Amino acid sequence: MSENISVKTKKEIMVMREGGKILAGVMNEMEKMVAPEISTWNLDELAEKLILKAGGKPSFKGYGDSSGKTFPRTICSSLNNEIVHGIPRKNVKLKEGDIIKVDVGMKYKGMHTDMARTFAVGNISVEKQKIINVVRETFYQGVSAMQVGKKLNCYSKIAQRYAEKNNFSVIRDLVGHGIGKELHEPPQILNYFNRNSCNFKLKAGMTFALEPMINVGSSEIKLADDGWTFETKDGKLSGHWENTVLITEDGIEILTETV
């Protein structure tokens, strides 16, 4: 299977590294804007403005799925029990105590990068802070297991173990992915261990968008009426954290690291 996974050239890696830094800067600026009464549309407008100013193009806007419909905005903005793919709207305003998942991708000089964060809106509950802390650490724990020569599903095993140890469920139906010239490249990357999935050895130059998604309650999900937004089936909280990562001979380089 690893023959189907693209290994990036030095030039492509340089471009993705540059694009990742730009995208991380965009995320940092959105985080500064997150506050009660700010609309998800405001966040989206800021992201698009900054991406275009940097010479990039939003990866999500106009992105089509298998049914033929296309995503209308630059970011995905998902609140509380919403998991991913929420559509920014003028009438959806952040409230004190919310958590918001912001997912954004950019095509820059022909190469994509992709990232997501879960942010607190003002003062949040202990439970909400815990899911932010755990989903972030789930990503880092999973990445810490990765190195050249190891199988990709070592990420999945460690990520699942950490999330479940902290009493969160891992979503089965949504996955990470390869990334580069296309936003979504092979393989699909599970956030839970399956010995028959992603069981190929990692090579330097591979790039992946790793994105653990965890729930307070059941791992079951449902699609909202808008045809895009995924929500927890039981209405309980969900957390999401994503980075584009590069496999190197020296370890893992996170291309979309925020400060």
Q: What is the pLDDT of residues 119-176, one digit of tens each?
A: 999 999 999 999 999 999 999 999 999 999 999 999 999 999 999 999 999 999 999 9
Angle between helices 126-144 and 153-165 (to 10 degrees): 150
What mean pLDDT is reported for the chain?
A: 96
Predicted local confidence at residue 142, as pLDDT: 98
Q: What is the CATH number of the domain that holds 123?
A: 3.90.230.10
What's the domain range around 150? Answer: 2-254
Residue 42 lies in a domain: yes
Please give the average per-residue pLDDT across 177-181, as a whole number: 98
Residue 15 has pLDDT above 70, yes or no: yes
Q: What is the pLDDT of residues 109-132, one digit of tens each?
A: 999 999 999 999 999 999 999 999
Task: Assign 57 a pLDDT band (cuts: 50, 70, 90).
Answer: very high
Residue 144 lies in a domain: yes
Residue 244 lies in a domain: yes
Residue 218 lies in a domain: yes
Residue 203 lies in a domain: yes
As for how many domains the chain has, the answer is: 1
Residue 47 lies in a domain: yes
Share of the chain residues as helix, strand and coil, in percent rounded to the nearest 5: 30, 30, 45
Q: How far is CA 227 from the centre of its chain?
A: 19
Q: Which amino acid is at 193?
A: F
Q: Which amino acid is at 114?
A: D
Predicted local confidence at residue 146, as pLDDT: 97
Residue 243 lies in a domain: yes
**What is the DSSP pairing of strand 243-248 with strand 251-254?**
antiparallel
Residue 259 lies in a domain: no
66, 121 contact by CB (below 8 A): no
Comparing CA positions, the residue from 62, 73, 72, 75 lying closest to residue 26 is 75
Bridge partners (DSSP) of residue 106 are 58, 113
Q: What is the pLDDT of residues 92-115, one digit of tens each?
A: 999 999 999 999 999 999 999 999
